[in-house]
């Protein structure tokens, strides 16, 4: 009788496991899809780092085609798989969680420190600095409502002090088959006298973005609100369909509160005597997509650095010349 009960339990477990939804065979499986996306992001970074920036679009197409040749798949197979994972956001989220970990491990192996990679990420309650973000550390946006908007609201408590500075930072990574990349982020701080100060930035490149708002008049912060939004390309108009690949991935999201007028410190730009200006949107120059290390704060540049290993030359197939 006991053996019979154990046998029934085994049968039940087998049925439960067999009922777990799997990725259909006609699509790329999660492991292979993750590997392809990993090389895809490296290919994009390589193309954007070319000295001749006028050929970025052509170089991007060339390197992406090399990735597809490397794995022996066609553009149509990759596109159909990407559409499938886009419609199953839980699977795509897990793939990108793994990608973030891989890029971080690569950065560490090449000499980056944990502080370079995370930047305020492990802070929860320090004397002068706290990470306020309690939401998901990563998300994905499309151009189709309601999935084109991520909004947030944080109400201040007794731990906030007059003169605090709020820093909102995140990594932005696009996957587009065509069209103009046009993301926007807004950080707005409401003070205790109900006045509002805000900062806005537009995203069009794979890099790290930072927005700051400071309570320079020491009014006291009442609430923090904002959003990240992906705009539909005007080139598409009404012809865009759900099969068009226009995705923006946001990861390593941080909302940092810093006391008083102290600077960001050496962990960000290596110069404690040059604090960031108030209520401005800044980009981290040299930051890598998908959670790699951060660089120095300076003027905006549209070429993120990459510590990636180059693709094999044998994988590259020339594309038809421009017309």
For 103-137, the pLDDT digits (tens) are: 878 877 877 665 555 555 444 445 567 889 988 88
- Does the pLDDT of residue 169 top 90, yes or no? yes
Rounded Cα distance between 190 and 71, Å, is 51
Q: Same structural domain for residues 177 and 293?
A: yes
pLDDT (average), residues 285-291: 35
Q: What angle do CA 222, 224, 226 make, to 5 degrees?
A: 150
Residues in Cβ contact with 173 at an 8 Å cutoff, skipping those fewer than 6 apart: 41, 206, 248, 249, 250, 251, 289, 290
Domain assignment present for 8: no
Of the candidates 138, 123, 211, the one whose C-alpha atom is nearest the C-alpha of residue 168 is 211
Q: What's the pLDDT at 183? A: 94
Rounded Cα distance between 260 and 43, Å, is 42
Mean pLDDT of the chain: 73
Q: What's the pLDDT at 6? A: 53
**What are the distances in angstroms from CA 306 to CA 142, 192, 225, 239, 287?**
25, 43, 32, 35, 8
Which residue matches tokens 């509002």? 196
Domain assignment present for 172: yes
pLDDT (average), residues 10-14: 60
Q: What's the pLDDT at 193? A: 95
Q: Same structural domain for residues 91 and 199?
A: no
Q: What's the pLDDT at 279? A: 39
Q: Same structural domain for residues 92 and 165?
A: no
Residue finishing a domain among 80, 109, 138: 109
Phi and psi torsions of 51, nearest 5°: -65, -35
Residue finishing a domain among 65, 87, 109: 109
- DSSP-H helix ranges across 110-145: 114-118
Q: Same structural domain for residues 285 and 136?
A: yes
Domain that holds residue 145: 120-237+244-297
Q: What are the tens digits of pLDDT across the range 51-61?
A: 655 556 778 88
Domain assignment present for 311: no
Residues in Cβ contact with 172 at an 8 Å cutoff, skipping those fewer than 6 apart: 183, 203, 205, 206, 207, 208, 209, 248, 249, 250, 289
- DSSP-H helix ranges across the chain: 2-19, 30-48, 56-71, 75-87, 89-109, 114-118
Q: What are the tens digits of pLDDT across the range 177-213?
A: 777 889 999 999 999 999 999 999 999 988 889 999 9
Q: Is 212 left (phi over 0), alpha (psi -120 to 50) or beta?
A: beta
Q: Same structural domain for residues 280 and 258?
A: yes
Residue 23 pLDDT class (50, 70, 90 cuts): confident
Q: What are the tens digits of pLDDT across the range 24-50?
A: 888 999 999 999 988 988 888 787 776
């Amino acid at each position: 009788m006991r053996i019979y009960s154990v046998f029934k339990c085994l049968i039940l477990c087998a049925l439960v496991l067999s009922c777990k939804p799997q990725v259909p065979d006609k699509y790329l499986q999660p492991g292979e899809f993750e590997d392809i996306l990993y090389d895809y992001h490296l290919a994009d970074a390589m193309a954007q780092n070319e000295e001749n920036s006028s050929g970025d679009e052509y170089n991007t197409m060339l390197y992406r085609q090399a990735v597809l040749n490397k794995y022996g798949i066609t553009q149509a197979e990759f596109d159909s798989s990407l559409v499938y994972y886009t419609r199953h956001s839980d699977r795509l989220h897990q793939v990108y969680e793994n990608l973030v970990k891989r890029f971080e491990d690569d950065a560490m192996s090449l000499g980056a420190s944990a502080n370079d990679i995370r930047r305020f990420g492990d802070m929860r309650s320090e004397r002068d600095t706290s990470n306020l973000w309690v939401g998901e550390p990563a998300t994905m946006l499309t151009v189709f409502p309601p999935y084109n908007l991520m909004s947030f609201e944080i109400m201040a408590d007794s731990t906030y002090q007059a003169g605090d500075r709020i820093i909102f930072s995140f990594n932005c990574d696009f996957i587009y088959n065509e069209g103009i990349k046009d993301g926007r982020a807004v950080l707005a701080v409401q003070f205790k006298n109900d006045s509002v100060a805000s900062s806005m930035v537009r995203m069009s490149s794979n890099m790290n973005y930072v927005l700051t708002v400071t309570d320079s008049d020491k009014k006291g912060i009442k609430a923090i609100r904002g959003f990240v939004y992906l705009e539909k390309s005007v080139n598409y108009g009404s012809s865009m369909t759900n099969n068009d690949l226009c995705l923006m991935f946001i990861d390593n999201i941080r909302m940092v509160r810093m006391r008083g007028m102290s600077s960001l410190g050496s962990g960000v730009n290596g110069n404690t005597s040059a604090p960031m200006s108030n209520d401005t949107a800044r980009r981290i120059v040299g930051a890598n997509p998908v959670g790699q290390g951060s660089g120095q704060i300076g003027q905006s540049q549209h070429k993120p650095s990459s510590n990636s290993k180059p693709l094999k030359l044998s994988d590259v197939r020339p594309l038809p010349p421009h017309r």
